Chains A and B, each alone.
Chain A
Amino acid sequence: MSERLAKVRDRSSGRPAAPEPPRGPAGRLAVAGLPGGSAAGSALVQGIGRVDRGPLLAVGAAVALYIWLSVLEPDALSYNGLTLTLSSTMPLMFVAIAQMIFISLGDLDLGNGYSVALANVVSAIIMPRHPLLGLGALALIVAAYAGMGALVQWRALPAIIVTLGASFVWLGLSLIVAPSPGGSSPAWLTSVANWNPPGIPLPLLVALIVAILGTLVAARTRAGVMLRAAGSNPNAARAFGIPIGVVRVLAYTAAGLSIVIGGLLLTGLTQSGDANASADFTLMSVAAVILGGGEFRGGRTPVIGAVCGALALTLVSPVLSALNVPSNYQTGAVGVVLVLVIAGRRLLQR
Chain B
Amino acid sequence: MLIVDSVTKTYRNTKAVADVSLSIADGEALGIVGHNGAGKSTLIKVVAGLVTPDAGTVVLDDIVLPPGSGVAAARKAGIRLASQEVVLCPDLLVLENVALAHPELFAGGRSWRRDVARRFEQQLAAVFPRRRISAYRRTGSLSLTDLQIVQLTVATMPTSVPIRTLILDEPTSALTSDLAAALFGYVRELRRESGLGAVIISHKMRDIVDNSERILVMRDGRQTAELSTADASADQIIAAMGGSIGADAPVNEPVRRASGGRGGRAANPLLSRSADGGLGELPFTVYPGEIVGLAGLEGQGQTELLAEVWRMSRRVSLFSRGRRRWALTRRFSAAYVSGDRQQFGLLPLWEVRRNITVASLNNLLSFGFLLRADRERSVTDDWVKRVQIREGTERQVLELSGGTQQKVLLARGMAAKSDVLLLDDPFRGVDVITKESAYRWIRDEADSGKAVVWYSSETAEFHKCDRAYVMREGAVRAVLAGPEISDDSLIRHSFDSEVASGPSANRRNGEDV
Q: Given A11, A22, A28, A233, which contacts B89 in the complex, CB threshold below 8 Å?
A: A233
Chain B residue at minimum C-beta to C-beta distance from A39:
B143
Q: Given A34, A42, A220, which contacts B90 in the complex, CB threshold below 8 Å?
A: A34
Contacts of B232 in A (CB 8 A): 2, 5
A144 vs B106: C-alpha distance in the bound complex, in angstroms? 31
A21 vs B178: C-alpha distance in the bound complex, in angstroms? 12
A298 vs B90: C-alpha distance in the bound complex, in angstroms? 11
Contacts A8-B502, A11-B502, A22-B474: A27 and B174 contacting too (C-beta < 8 A)?
yes
Which candidate, B9-17, B95-103, B456-464, is the interface stretch facing chain A? B95-103
CB–CB A37/B140 < 8 A: yes
Contacts A2-B230, A26-B301, A299-B90: A34 and B70 contacting too (C-beta < 8 A)?
no
A131 shortest CB reach to chain B, Å: 38
Contacts of A233 in B (CB 8 A): 87-91
Contacts A25-B301, A241-B71: A31 and B230 contacting too (C-beta < 8 A)?
no
CB–CB B499/A9 < 8 A: yes
Residue-wise, chain A 34-68 has the 8 Å CB interface mask toward B (1 for contact) of: 11110101100110011000000000000000000
Contacts of A39 in B (CB 8 A): 143
Contacts A25-B304, A299-B89: A36 and B502 contacting too (C-beta < 8 A)?
no
Contacts of B301 in A (CB 8 A): 25-26
Contacts A26-B300, A30-B299: A8 and B234 contacting too (C-beta < 8 A)?
yes
Our count of residue pairs bridging A and B at CB distance below 8 angstroms stands at 185
Contacts A4-B509, A24-B474, A232-B89: A241 and B72 contacting too (C-beta < 8 A)?
yes
| Residue B142 lies at the interface, judged by CB distance under 8 Å to chain A | yes
Which candidate, A222-230, A257-265, A303-311, is the interface stretch facing chain B? A222-230
Contacts A26-B474, A35-B90, A300-B91: A20 and B143 contacting too (C-beta < 8 A)?
no
A45 vs B173: C-alpha distance in the bound complex, in angstroms? 25
A39 vs B510: C-alpha distance in the bound complex, in angstroms? 46
A232 vs B86: C-alpha distance in the bound complex, in angstroms? 13
Chain B residue at minimum C-beta to C-beta distance from A222:
B106
Interface positions, chain A 77-107, Cβ under 8 Å from B, are none
| Residue A231 lies at the interface, judged by CB distance under 8 Å to chain B | yes
CB–CB B506/A7 < 8 A: yes
| Residue A18 lies at the interface, judged by CB distance under 8 Å to chain B | yes
Contacts of B230 in A (CB 8 A): 1-2
CB–CB B137/A46 < 8 A: yes
Contacts of A226 in B (CB 8 A): 100
| Residue A154 lies at the interface, judged by CB distance under 8 Å to chain B | no
Most chain B CB within 10 A, of A23, A30, A42, A241, is at: A241
| Residue B498 lies at the interface, judged by CB distance under 8 Å to chain A | yes
CB–CB B140/A50 < 8 A: no
Chain A residue at minimum C-beta to C-beta distance from B210:
A9
| Residue B358 lies at the interface, judged by CB distance under 8 Å to chain A | no
Contacts of A28 in B (CB 8 A): 84, 170, 173-174, 203, 297, 299-300
Contacts of B86 in A (CB 8 A): 29-32, 34, 236
Contacts of A242 in B (CB 8 A): 100
Contacts of B177 in A (CB 8 A): 17-18
CB–CB A42/B174 < 8 A: no
Q: How many B residues touch A, CB cutoff 8 Å?
A: 69
| Residue A180 lies at the interface, judged by CB distance under 8 Å to chain B | no
Residue-wise, chain A 194-232 has the 8 Å CB interface mask toward B (1 for contact) of: 000000000000000000000000001010011011011
A325 shortest CB reach to chain B, Å: 38
Contacts of B510 in A (CB 8 A): 4
| Residue A326 lies at the interface, judged by CB distance under 8 Å to chain B | no
Q: Given B137, B141, B174, which contacts A21 in the complex, CB threshold below 8 Å?
A: B174
CB–CB B498/A8 < 8 A: yes
Contacts of A220 in B (CB 8 A): 113
Most chain B CB within 10 A, of A1, A4, A11, A298, is at: A4
Contacts of B259 in A (CB 8 A): none
| Residue B400 lies at the interface, judged by CB distance under 8 Å to chain A | no
| Residue A189 lies at the interface, judged by CB distance under 8 Å to chain B | no
Contacts A21-B173, A29-B173: A241 and B75 contacting too (C-beta < 8 A)?
yes
| Residue B233 lies at the interface, judged by CB distance under 8 Å to chain A | yes
Contacts of A19 in B (CB 8 A): 278-279
Contacts of B175 in A (CB 8 A): 21
CB–CB B85/A30 < 8 A: yes
Residue-wise, chain B 76-120 has the 8 Å CB interface mask toward A (1 for contact) of: 000000011111111110001101110100100000010000000
CB–CB B144/A31 < 8 A: yes
Interface positions, chain B 114-170, Cβ under 8 Å from A, are 134, 136-145, 147-148, 170
CB–CB B100/A11 < 8 A: no
CB–CB A5/B144 < 8 A: no
| Residue A240 lies at the interface, judged by CB distance under 8 Å to chain B | yes
| Residue B231 lies at the interface, judged by CB distance under 8 Å to chain A | yes
A338 vs B139: C-alpha distance in the bound complex, in angstroms? 30
CB–CB B509/A26 < 8 A: no
Contacts of A12 in B (CB 8 A): 206, 498-499, 502
CB–CB B473/A240 < 8 A: no
CB–CB A50/B136 < 8 A: yes
A33 vs B92: C-alpha distance in the bound complex, in angstroms? 13
B235 shortest CB reach to chain A, Å: 8
| Residue B50 lies at the interface, judged by CB distance under 8 Å to chain A | yes
CB–CB A29/B89 < 8 A: no
Residue-wise, chain A 298-339 has the 8 Å CB interface mask toward B (1 for contact) of: 111000000000000000000000000000000000000000
Contacts A5-B499, A233-B89: A29 and B99 contacting too (C-beta < 8 A)?
no
A11 vs B499: C-alpha distance in the bound complex, in angstroms? 10
A159 shortest CB reach to chain B, Å: 19
CB–CB B143/A5 < 8 A: no
B83 shortest CB reach to chain A, Å: 8
| Residue A177 lies at the interface, judged by CB distance under 8 Å to chain B | no
CB–CB A236/B299 < 8 A: no
Chain A residue at minimum C-beta to C-beta distance from B510:
A4
Chain A residue at minimum C-beta to C-beta distance from B99:
A225
A226 shortest CB reach to chain B, Å: 7
CB–CB B140/A34 < 8 A: yes
CB–CB A4/B99 < 8 A: no
B457 shortest CB reach to chain A, Å: 14
A-B contact sample (8 more), CB < 8 A, given A28-B203, A300-B91: A5-B232, A25-B301, A37-B140, A37-B143, A39-B143, A46-B137, A225-B99, A236-B88
14 contacts between A and B (CB under 8 A): A2-B230, A8-B502, A11-B498, A12-B499, A16-B279, A17-B176, A21-B173, A29-B147, A50-B136, A237-B100, A241-B70, A241-B72, A241-B103, A299-B91
6 closest Cβ pairs, A-B complex:
A26-B474, A299-B91, A28-B173, A12-B498, A232-B89, A26-B301
